[in-house]
Structure 1
Amino acid sequence: MNVTIDLVDETESLNKKQLELVQQLIVKTAEVESLKGDIEVSITFVNEEQIQQINAEYRNKNQPTDVISFALNDQIDGEVNVVGEGMPNMLGDIIISVPHIKRQAEEYKHTFERELGFLTVHGMLHLLGFDHKTEAEEKEMFSRQENILMQYGLTR
């Protein structure tokens, strides 16, 4: 497995160690979820206004949020799945609000890095098709998140 990560910090507030943590957690999630082949993921860190604008435009929710994922492998009924031989599996884009990381880390009484890791893994699992619309889905997704974070060594 080869993972390519396009990482952009539009806030210019994350340090090198934090960006490396994000990359390592994306790879760890791919390993734990047994992904194969070449994989590509894009992660962008934005401010509150930017994520609110994205949330309003794409989800019709005019409010800021912590993380938004745009899975490129989601198919609509009747849509043809186009797969090119030798092409990487482009999972999609993860957008994370840096102000939310700070606020939620304080609220949940853990480190900035723990919240950064949580939102990174959460976004990655969304790209892999996991969701939390029902209680059962939420239980499964959050269990997977905690398992990945624990295996990485990023605990509360």
Structure 2
Amino acid sequence: MAVSLEWVNEQHDMEIGEPLIAMLEKLLAIAAEAEGVENGEVALSFVDDEAIRALNRDYRNIDKATDVLSFSMVETVPGEPDIRFDDDADEEGEGDEADELAEDGDDGETFPEPLGDIVISVRRAIEQASEYGHSIERELGFLFVHGFLHLIGYDHQDEEAERVMFGKQEAVLAKAGLSR
């Protein structure tokens, strides 16, 4: 199984076409391989400034638009208990069937694990591409890879973490031919 991308377009500043989605899928494959992520699904929403501002206000208490937000489904809190699918399972492995059912559909089809959601303000991406003097594709690619790295646990809270994360972003973009 591979890492897959599901997306929706909820903005009107730019047409989102198959070439852009193919580029983002390529970036996702490169980033996932580099990070050893073999399975999962990323949900991507292209939105306007009003929508991302509302999300930023509601989830981060910052009442202004931003360029990208990530909502990880794989983050855990230290000491958080594992999810149990069978209340009667004991510690000796009973309940394994329930675990398998959680990953497989009724017909045996395996579903990818949701890695999380990435939300990109297309208006911000357009403005930033112009400001930085590169293409909109490069800016959207940068924001997407940035969001993906957040989904899998990277952050840039201090100088060292920022150096690591931004280095990984640039390596993925360069491998895809989207360097500055």
Name the TM tier (shorter chain): over 0.9
TM-score with structure 1 length normalisation? 0.93
Q: Which AA in structure 2 matches 1:15?
A: G
Cα distance in 2, alignment partners of residues 146 and 15 from structure 1: 24
Is contact 2:4–2:25 with CA below 8 Å preserved after alignment?
no
Cα distance in 1, alignment partners of residues 83 and 131 from structure 2: 43
Q: Give the unaligned 5+ runs of structure 1.
A: none
Aligned partner of 1:143 in structure 2 is 167
When the two chains are superposed, the root-mean-square deviation of aligned CA atoms in Å is 1.5
Q: Give the unaligned 5+ runs of structure 2.
A: 85-98, 104-111
Name the larger-Rg structure: 2
SS in 2 for 1:28: helix
Matched, 1:108 2:109: no
Cα distance in 2, alignment partners of residues 139 and 8 from structure 1: 31
Aligned partner of 2:95 in structure 1 is none
Matched, 1:72 2:68: no
Displacement of 1:39 in angstroms is: 1.0
Paired positions, count: 155
Q: Which AA in structure 2 matches 1:51?
A: I
Cα distance in 1, alignment partners of residues 113 and 68 from structure 2: 21
Cα distance in 1, alignment partners of residues 176 and 82 from structure 2: 33
TM-score with structure 2 length normalisation? 0.81
Q: Which runs of structure 1 show a deviation greater than 6 angstroms over 4 or more consecutive aligned residues? A: none
Instruction: Please list, as runs of the form range in 1=range in 2, the aligned pairs for 1:46-65 lying within 5 A after superposition.
Output: 46-65=47-66
Aligned partner of 1:24 in structure 2 is 26
Aligned partner of 1:33 in structure 2 is 35
Q: Answer 1 or 2: which has greater strand percent.
A: 1
SS in 2 for 1:5: strand
Displacement of 1:153 in angstroms is: 1.3
